[in-house]
Amino acid sequence: MSYHQDSVGPAATINDVGLNESFPLSSFMGDFLDVEEDHHADREASASPVTDGEHVFAFFGSRGLYCLDTGGKLLWKKNLGEMHTKHGHGEGSSPALHGETLIVNWDHEEQSFLVALDKRTGTQRWRVARAEDTSWATPIVVEHAGKTQVIVSGTNRLRGYDLLGFGMKRVLLSWSSGKDSAWTLHVLRQQTDVELVGLLTTFNEAAGRVAMHAVRRELVEAQAAAAGLPLWSVALTWPCSNAAYEAKMHEAGDRVRRAGVTHIAFGDLFLEEIRAYRERQLAGTGIEPLFPIWGTAADTPALAREMLATELRAVLTCVDPKQLDGRFVGRWFDANLLTDLPASVDPCGERGEFHTFCFAGPMFAAPIAVLVGEATLRDGFWFVDLLAKSPQPAVESRIL
C-alpha cells in the first residue's frame, strides 16, 4: 500500500496513521458500477490511496471514490461515472490531496475531465473538461509565484490548472481561539468555493499567549492540529501600541498575499466599527475580508443555541468585570450559562463582555482536553489559566 503526501501538510504514511491491514471496502461498493476493465494478459493498473493522517481516500474508477477514517469507517462515497480505458489496462490514476481539496483525474476514451472535491464532504468544488484520451497520470499540486497549480500530464500535452481559477477563494481564517472563530471555521467548511489554508493568530511574544484571551500557544496549536490546518502566527511585543500592531499586521499581510491568499475571514458578529476597521486595514492590499457569520445583535441568542446544538464546547477564559461578574470566568459556555447571563450581556460576548476557548465541536477531529486553573484579576480583567491535560500533537506552523 502506498500513499501521497498532502502538498501543504506533514507527510503521513499508512503506518503513521494507524490503518488496519485492510478496509472492508467490498461492503461499501454495491451501489457503484462494476465495469472496471481487465487486460487479458496482465493485472489492472490500480490507484494508490492518499491520506492526510485523519482521512484515507481510495479511488476505484468506475467503482467509486471513498473517504474513510483511519479505523476503516466510511465517511462518504461518490460515483463519478463509468470509465472506459484503452486496452483494458485498468483505471489507475491516483487522487491528489492539497489542503482541503481532493483532485481526481478522469482521462478515458469518452469525455475526460479533472474534478476537485471538498475532502471532508465529497462536494464538488469545480470540474473542467480535458481534451485527452486514456491516461493514468496522477495530478501533482505545486505552489509557484503565489499561485497553487494542479499539474496533469496526458496523451496530448502537459497542462497546468489554477486551483483557484474556477471561482475558488483561498482563505486564511483570523483565529482568536474562541467559539466565534471556531464557528466561522465550521461555516466556511460548508462553502464549496472556499479553500482554507490556515489559522492566523497573534501572540504576545513575551508570554506566549493569545492577546485578550490569554490562551497558551500550545493550546492554539492543539486547535490547529484538531482542525487539520497550519497555524500562521504573528508575534507582538508587549505592551504593543496600536501603531506598532498595525505595522506588524501590514507586514504580515504582505507575506500572506505573496503566499497566494485571496481572503481573510473574521468571526465578527455585528459591531459595525470593528468590521469597518478590518475593511480599512485590508483596503488596497489585494486581500478581501470575509465575514461569514455576520448578522445583527438580535441574531446572537439563536446563534449561541445553534452552536451548542452542534456540540460546540468552550470555556470562558476572560471576563470584563465592568460588564459581567468576574465569577463567570472559568465557566463552561453552555445552556446554564446562557440562562444565567444578565440581559445586558450579549449571549456570544460580542461587546467584549467575555472571551472563550473552544475545545470541541464539529470543526475539530477530536476534543482538546483541558484543565481549568486559577483565576486572577489582571489589568482590569478576570482571566483563568487553561492547561493541556496531555502532550499536544505537532502542527505545521508558519511565522509571519
pLDDT at residue 3, as a whole number? 33
Percentage of residues in the chain having pLDDT higher than 90 = 50
Distance CA 274, CA 320 (A): 18
pLDDT at residue 88, as a whole number? 67
Determine phi and psi for 182, rounding to 5 degrees: -65, -40
pLDDT at residue 128, as a whole number? 84
Distance CA 302, CA 321 (A): 25
C-alpha cell at 108: 478515458
Mean pLDDT of the chain: 84
The whole-number average pLDDT for the span 284-311 is 96
Distance CA 150, CA 137 (A): 12
Q: Where in the chain is the domain with CATH 3.40.50.620?
A: 169-399
- Could you tell me the CATH superfamily of domain 169-399? HUPs (3.40.50.620)
For residue 32, pLDDT over 60 is answered with no
User: For the domain with range 25-139, which CATH number is right: 2.40.50.140, 1.50.10.10, 2.40.10.480, 3.40.50.300?
Assistant: 2.40.10.480
pLDDT at residue 8, as a whole number? 35
- Which residues fall within 8 angstroms of residue 70, CB to CB, at 6 or more apart? 17, 18, 19, 51, 53, 54, 55, 56
Of 166, 163, 185, which is closest to residue 307 (Cα–Cα)?
A: 185
C-alpha cell at 272: 459595525
Q: Where in the chain is the domain with CATH 2.40.10.480?
A: 25-139
* Confidence class for position 60, pLDDT limits 50, 70, 90: confident
* Length of the chain, in residues: 400
Other CB atoms within 10 Å distance of the CB of residue 339: 7
Other CB atoms within 10 Å distance of the CB of residue 309: 9
The whole-number average pLDDT for the span 147-164 is 84
The whole-number average pLDDT for the span 88-95 is 75
For residue 279, pLDDT over 80 is answered with yes
Distance CA 331, CA 316 (A): 6
Higher pLDDT, 98 or 193: 98
pLDDT at residue 277, as a whole number? 95
pLDDT at residue 13, as a whole number? 39
* Confidence class for position 39, pLDDT limits 50, 70, 90: very low
Higher pLDDT, 34 or 65: 65
Higher pLDDT, 392 or 103: 103
* Confidence class for position 33, pLDDT limits 50, 70, 90: very low
When mean pLDDT is compared across 94-108, 283-297, 302-316, the lowest value belongs to 94-108
The whole-number average pLDDT for the span 110-139 is 85
pLDDT at residue 168, as a whole number? 75
Q: Which DSSP string do the residues of 77-100 spell out, in sequence order?
A: EE-------GGG----PPPEEETT
- Measured in whole angstroms, how far is the alpha carbon of residue 189 from the centre of its chain? 7
pLDDT in tens, 243-262: 888 888 888 888 888 777 88
- Burial category of 298 from C-beta neighbours within 10 Å (exposed 0-12, middle 13-18, buried 19 and up): exposed
Higher pLDDT, 44 or 121: 121
pLDDT at residue 221, as a whole number? 95
pTM: 0.69
pLDDT at residue 255, as a whole number? 84
Higher pLDDT, 294 or 169: 294
Q: How far is CA 211 from CA 5, 85, 101, 230, 319, in A?
A: 34, 57, 32, 19, 13
Distance CA 331, CA 354 (A): 11
When mean pLDDT is compared across 41-55, 108-122, 132-146, 159-173, the lowest value belongs to 41-55
Contact in structure between 105 and 137 (CB atoms under 8 Å): yes
Distance CA 141, CA 153 (A): 12
pLDDT at residue 18, as a whole number? 45
Coil, strand or helix: which one is 152?
strand
Distance CA 325, CA 6 (A): 47
Starting at the earlier edge strand, list the strands of the sheet with 65-69. 50-51, 55-59, 65-69, 74-78
For residue 213, pLDDT over 50 is answered with yes
pLDDT at residue 2, as a whole number? 34
pLDDT at residue 24, as a whole number? 52
Pairing, β 381-388 against β 313-319:
antiparallel
pLDDT at residue 344, as a whole number? 97
Contact in structure between 178 and 357 (CB atoms under 8 Å): yes
For residue 205, pLDDT over 80 is answered with yes
The whole-number average pLDDT for the span 309-328 is 97
User: Rg of the Cα trace of the chain?
Assistant: 23
Q: Give helix then strand counts, H and E, for the chain.
A: 6, 22
Distance CA 175, CA 217 (A): 12
The whole-number average pLDDT for the span 303-331 is 97
Distance CA 353, CA 42 (A): 69
